[in-house]
């Protein structure tokens, strides 16, 4: 039923199975189609985007980009949840080193470091509480502590062997990143102080809401599929 939302060339790649059905719980048609199209282009484009080369230089290795692009979309996330992660891969998160309007390039968390995307998501000592909290969830989802890399996991959702984390762990990290980035944006734009307890609560609430939305989808989808199949057999 949801194939109508995906362009034909995306259907042929099987990307709709990675993204899950759009519906009201999974984001708007426009965002759904945009993420589909961009993902398909990353997998098919003859020339890799510049972000691949820059990230390779930043981390000092050649990353498994085809596997990374294929990870976009999980059974729990909607296109809005994927957006911050997608921007991070493309190096489009709005940090002070990229914002010409910013009067300083130092981290908004006042740790004294340059505010790069790598620093803000994976290195800032003032955001260590976020990574420690997320680590507890990852371990509960079957990710071993020794498989959590200080860069590959937080930036690319990969383990220490550069292999993708399981889908539930990927979904959690995308939702957690979206929530963290929302609070960091409020700090930068409105001066709203960072509240560690609120960030943790919002991450947990957002993740639980996606689980409930997925359960509702499955509960509604399979009876509909059953009745549709019965009607077609008559």
Is 0.75 surpassed by the pTM of this model? yes
pLDDT at 47: 83
pLDDT band at residue 219 under the 50/70/90 scheme: confident
What is d(CA 172, CA 131) in angstroms, rounded to the nearest whole number? 12
DSSP H or E segment with residue 166: none
| pLDDT digits 0-9 by tens, 32-84 | 455 555 555 555 556 889 999 999 999 999 999 999 999 999 999 999 999 99
What is the pLDDT, as a whole number, of residue 222? 66
User: Which of 66, 76, 112, 106 shows the shortest CA–CA distance to 211?
Assistant: 76
Euclidean distance between CA atoms 132 and 130, whole angstroms: 6
Q: Which two tokens stand for residue 50?
A: 């510049």
Which residues form the domain of 183? 2-233
Q: What is the mean pLDDT of residues 181-208?
A: 96
198-207 contacts, C-beta under 8 A, 24 or more apart: 199/129, 199/130, 200/129, 200/133, 203/133, 203/134, 203/175, 203/176, 203/179, 206/175, 206/178, 206/179, 207/76, 207/137, 207/171, 207/172, 207/175, 207/176
pLDDT at 8 over 70: no
pLDDT digits (tens, 9 = 90+) for 106-142: 999 999 999 999 999 999 999 999 999 999 999 999 9
Q: Say yes or no to pLDDT of 21 above 50.
A: no
- In the chain, the number of structural domains is 1
Per-residue confidence (pLDDT) for residue 229, from 0 to 100:
53
**pLDDT at res. 12:** 38
């Amino acid at each position: 039923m949801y194939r109508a939302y995906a362009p034909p060339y995306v259907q042929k790649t099987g990307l709709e199975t990675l993204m899950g059905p759009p519906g009201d719980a999974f984001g708007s048609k426009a965002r759904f189609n945009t993420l589909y199209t961009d993902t398909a282009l990353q997998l098919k484009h003859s020339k890799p985007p510049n972000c691949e080369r820059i990230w390779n230089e930043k981390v000092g290795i050649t990353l498994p980009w085809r596997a990374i692009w294929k990870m976009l979309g999980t059974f729990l996330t909607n296109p809005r949840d994927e957006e911050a992660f997608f921007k991070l891969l493309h190096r489009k998160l709005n940090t002070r080193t990229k914002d010409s309007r910013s009067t300083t390039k130092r981290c908004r968390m006042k740790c004294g470091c340059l505010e790069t995307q790598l620093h803000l998501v994976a290195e800032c000592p003032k955001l260590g509480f976020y990574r420690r909290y997320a680590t507890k969830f990852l371990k509960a989802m079957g990710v071993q502590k020794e498989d959590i890399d200080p860069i590959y996991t937080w930036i690319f959702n990969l383990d220490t062997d550069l292999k993708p984390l399981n889908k539930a762990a990927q979904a959690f990290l995308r939702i957690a990143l979206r929530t963290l980035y929302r609070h960091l944006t409020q700090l930068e734009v409105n001066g709203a102080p960072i509240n560690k307890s609120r960030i943790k609560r919002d991450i947990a609430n957002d993740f639980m809401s996606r689980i409930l939305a997925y359960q509702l989808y499955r509960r509604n989808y399979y009876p509909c599929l059953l009745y549709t199949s019965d009607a077609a057999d008559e």
